[in-house]
Structure 1
Amino acid sequence: MNAKRRLLIVEDNKRLAENLFEYLGEDKYELDYAADGLTALHLLASHTYDVIILDIMLPGVNGLTICRRIREDLNSSVPVLMLTARDSIEDKTQAFDNGADDYLIKPFHMKELELRIQALCRRRQTNNDCITANNIRYYPGTLTVKRQDQSELQLIGYAATIFEALIRKYPDYVTYQHLSTDIWGHPDGDINVIRTHIYVLRKTLKNTYGQDMIKTLHGRGYCLDPA
């Protein structure tokens, strides 16, 4: 029998936390809980998790700071799913810039949350094969991009999922539905969220390699443009 996935739920709303434990607990997942940022950081320093469900507005240390410290201080690529009532594109961009993998707006359906958790878990089941496109090499096992003799770039979160989809399809384009399926496990995901992920990935690649490497095909999707 496969071991249950271990999740950390960081949420200061006690009623919501209880609902999450009721829905995700029992035979589905092994769950840990933190009601504030400091407790969450303590647990993260001493335990390993498959997915972190993280509220943004927390007492002590907020969720954005926790997410950034997971990436920078702990050097961890564990998937982080943000829960928040903030729904502006600026808020989403800030979350992804701090290392979030996914962003779910309150209120939400528990089934959608579970589907997103499953998609995040699948993303971690990668191998170490090298995928090439022109002068670009990508290693799914380490989420690392290499370009000739330039700097290596390690991707995190859905940026890695999207880049892998783009490089596997190169020189063809990837549809919105394809990306949605890779990210959430179904083809009907929020196009605006996909666009936000693309924006963050595009900016990361440009900051590292000095050029825009993703081409938008309006109404169809995106393709990698490494030349």
Structure 2
Amino acid sequence: MLEDDLLQSEMLAIWLRDAGHDVHCFPDARDFMRIVARESFDFFLLDSVLPELSGQDVLEWLRKDRNNDAPVVFVTARDAEEDVVAALNGGADDYIVKPLRHRELLARVEAVTRRGRTVGGEPLIEVGPYRFDLAHKQAQMDGLPLDLTEKEFDLAAFLFRNIGRLVSRGHLLEAVWGRNPMVATRTVDTHISRVRTKLELRPERGFRLAPAYNFGYRLERMEAEAGEDLATPD
């Protein structure tokens, strides 16, 4: 974790350690880069505003100079669209806007570190009222079969395997349609709309399939927000 605010760093470290993570805290970008250059980590939590290099600079170093593809959650006090899009386009897997919330932080970390982010893998996905049989490409909701096309099934299964994680349109295209230059990103939007309708992905059903600026989509499982702890922003 790269965070120059020591009080916030300590709070986040407690949250993450209580959730079973080993945490290494760095208040300085140079020290962080020196250690990361010789050690491996499962994921990174990067603050956007730092005394020397920015979080965006560190993110670019990780992705381009080190070719490090470990998941990155970008933490920012800036919620302007251009700042968020810059982080995502720079290689961040997700972002959280301060003030940070305990359960949200842990949920986002869990989402980006979850393994097996392609449609293949385990033969069965069961989340709430939804069941996806990957071997036979059959989907059910509340025990009843869903009438999905092959691509709708693949897209829905991918979203449920990455529940809580922000995924770009490009990532969705590659995962569901493969590296096909003839498929337009608008195809993703069309299929997202169909999946949302057929699976009834609405807050009153306990799920939300929401767009994120001009970047992509996130499937979220709705939970009560009351009583969550807040970390003080910079």
| CA shift for structure 1 position 26 | 5.2
Say if 2:117 and 2:158, in contact at 8 Å, map to a contact too. Answer: no
Match of 1:173 in 2: 152
Matched, 1:108 2:84: no
| CA shift for structure 1 position 73 | 1.1
Distance across 2 between alignment mates of 1:94 and 1:178: 28
CA shift digits 1:29-84 (9 cap, x unpaired): 11111112111111210211111000111121111111111111111110000000
Aligned length: 165
Say if 1:175 and 1:221, in contact at 8 Å, map to a contact too. Answer: no
Q: Which has the larger radius of gyration?
A: 2
Distance across 1 between alignment mates of 2:85 and 2:154: 22
CA shift digits 1:95-124 (9 cap, x unpaired): 01111001111112111111111122213x
Distance across 2 between alignment mates of 1:209 and 1:58: 40
What is the SS of the residue equivalent to 1:114?
A: helix
Superposed, which structure 2 residues align to 1:18-29 within 5 Å? 18-25=10-17, 28-29=20-21
Match of 2:169 in 1: 198
CA shift digits 1:131-182 (9 cap, x unpaired): 7xxxxxxxx9xxxxxxxxxxxxxxxxxxxxxxxxxxx997423699866643
* CA distance 1:174–1:112, change in 2 (3 Å): farther
Query: TM-score scaled by structure 2?
Result: 0.58
Say if 1:176 and 1:220, in contact at 8 Å, map to a contact too. Answer: no
Say if 1:97 and 1:200, in contact at 8 Å, map to a contact too. Answer: no
Question: What are structure 1's unaligned runs of at least 5 residues?
Answer: 1-8, 132-139, 141-167, 203-207, 223-227
| Percent identity (aligned) | 25
Distance across 1 between alignment mates of 2:79 and 2:48: 12
Matched, 1:50 2:50: no
Aligned mate of 1:80, from 72, 77, 85 = 72
Aligned mate of 2:2, from 6, 10, 16 = 10
Distance across 1 between alignment mates of 2:57 and 2:47: 11
Higher relative contact order (CA closer than 8 Å, sequence separation 6+): 2
Distance across 2 between alignment mates of 1:170 and 1:50: 36
| CA shift for structure 1 position 212 | 4.8
| CA shift for structure 1 position 88 | 2.0
Aligned CA-pair RMSD? 3.6
